[in-house]
Chain A
Amino acid sequence: MLKGRLRKDRIARHYMLTVTILAMFVLLLIGGGLLVKSLPIIQEKGLWTLLSTSNWRPFKGDFGFASYIVSTLYVTGIAIIIALPLSLLTSIYIIEYASPKILRAFSSVVDLLSGIPPVIYGVWGTLTIVPFISETLAPHFVEFSTGYSALAGGVVLAIMIIPLIISILMEVFGAVPKEMREASMSLGATKWQTVKKVVVRKSIPGIVAAVVLAISRAFGETIAVLMVCGNFTDLPKSIFDACYPIPALIANNYGEMMSVPKYESALMFAAFLLFFIIVVFNIISRIVLIQIDKRYQL
């Protein structure tokens, strides 16, 4: 018979193991559940037809997801292209150059920004970004745009993920040892040289991780994007065209028109698609991180 505290130790370990396994099981459960529910439509139409066509006429039984997939990638791509440079420069400034006072003030602003509900970003986007695009920006490039567009979705999304990226990057840059900066400076490097050649280099894995997290978040962001991107099912030809990302599709239609045959299954397939994209994306980025670590041993 084990002594009391040893037995407690063993119980605690097994308990924690069980909970951990359960947490991982949830992932399989969600993925599996979605797959089972979307099987009817996959069997009827075939996977390739679903992915490669963009006809969406539920009443006629046409379910093509290409425009939704493209829209999702479009909006997310625009968002990360806008957000990453801005967040990088901001967080470098805050950590490397700003005084402690600014650092403290800014940290709380970032926390505040990430706490604002998405719907507020959506309303704000509708009020400012959409008119700005339709009246000021788009006329320079295309004949007509309502402003409700992939670009509007991307901009709003960028603004939403910037605080997230900044707060991660601030942690990442802050974790670079002070001694490393001093080693560089003591060789006569300027601050900018030190940042460029040492701090950013050392932080590459962290930067990749921040981008991965931000993109995963952006893929799934629903309500704010849905309010500004136009929700029009067609392959967007330019960033000024309306688009219709997968989360918006699900949120707009789920619970309605369930009488249409295969509609529910199609939406489940959309959800599975989103789930699949995010999982694959995370796996790829994990592999990239391992490769970086192997190559540079940062």
Chain B
Amino acid sequence: MEILTETLIMEKPKQVRNRKPGCDKPHIEVEKLNLYIQDNHILKNISLAIPDKSITCIIGPSGCGKTTLLRTFNRLHDDNVDVRITGKLFVDCEDIYAKDAEVTHIRKKMGLLAQRPCSLPMSILDNVVYGPRLHGVRGKHKLHEIAYHQLSAVGLWDEVKDRLKTPASKLSIGQQQRLCLARGLAVEPDIILGDEATSALDPISSKTIEELFVSLKDKYTIVLVTHTLRQAKRIADYVAFMYMGELIEFGTADQVFNNPKHKLTQEYISGGFS
């Protein structure tokens, strides 16, 4: 099976927002990124520019490194001493793997949705305002306003407005995932990362989350790792196909699904392997 290792070159996205002056790169740009876990080469020379304000789905078979790639975006590998990373990853033109990069303000730029919703051990209200509180927002009124705003944004306000003080763990799993999304949005990020964010949910909850992603893409740059091709087909604007740690193909959803350039991509999306 031949795998092309050529670097994929993308069109530069046009719009730019909320970043330091003089930065003309998209929110996330990956440059020749390599990741090793002990001696295993997990991500191989990945270069990729994620288009702003759209949904990019990373697809590929299990173990291809798509989740690993997603986690490099907000440096979640930091605590694993076995992981070694080379190359550059720019978030708003700042190389986040530079030696002097400070991690908390980088993470603040991204909301992360994990595979299983992970509510923090506190009330619904405290979950939503956890981020703002960390970053120094004080005052009951102000925090309550943030909670109202973000919970409304994910369509959860009406369901929980009478029990904001109850533990978040009492919510259903679909509600918890929306709560996690609201919690992520509350730190006012530019980017939303989703790591198979709907895989633990029932079909109706998944649909709600998918619709939320679509409604949020005007404001946010959304990167989703997904196992389900159909989901990618439904909501993706851009698709990145990975195989064995390499980025095989990147393009618009239309192009990748209807007219894949690469034989591997073709096989994968037609269900040749998974």
Contact = CB atoms under 8 A, between A and B. Distances in A.
Interface size class of B (residues with CB under 8 A): 20 to 34
Contacts of A185: 76, 107
A184 B114 CA distance: 12
B121 A188 contact: no
B81 A100 contact: yes
Given A182-B76, A185-B76, A197-B130, A297 B120 contact: no
B118 A180 contact: yes
B28 interface: no
A257 B167 CA distance: 60
Contact of B108 (A100, A188, A193, A202): A188
B118 A297 contact: no
Interface residues of A, number: 22
Interface string A178-199: 0110111111111001000110
Most chain A beta-carbon neighbours within 10 Å: one of B110, B114, B167, B187 = B114
Interface string B138-180: 0000000000000000000000000000010110000000001
Main SS at interface, chain B: mixed
A187 B134 contact: yes
A4 interface: no
Interface string B181-205: 0011001000001000000000000
Contact of B104 (A100, A190, A296): A190
A180 B120 CA distance: 6
A189 B134 contact: yes
B184 A201 contact: no
Contacts, number: 71
Given A197-B130, A201-B121, A186 B76 contact: yes
Main SS at interface, chain A: helix
B84 interface: no
B121 A182 contact: no
A177 interface: yes
Interface in B82-136: 104-105, 107-108, 110-112, 114, 116, 118, 120-122, 130-131, 134-135
B118 A187 contact: no
Given A180-B121, A202-B121, 10 more contacts: A179-B118, A183-B183, A186-B112, A186-B193, A187-B108, A187-B130, A187-B134, A187-B183, A190-B104, A198-B121
Interface of A: 99-100, 177, 179-180, 182-190, 193, 197-198, 201-202, 296-298
**Which 6 A-B residue pairs are closest in the complex by CB-CB distance?**
A188-B108, A186-B112, A297-B167, A187-B131, A202-B121, A179-B118
29 contacts: A100-B81, A179-B116, A179-B118, A180-B120, A182-B112, A182-B114, A182-B118, A183-B114, A184-B130, A186-B74, A186-B107, A186-B111, A186-B112, A186-B184, A187-B107, A187-B111, A187-B130, A187-B134, A187-B183, A188-B108, A189-B104, A189-B130, A189-B131, A197-B120, A198-B120, A198-B121, A296-B121, A297-B167, A297-B170
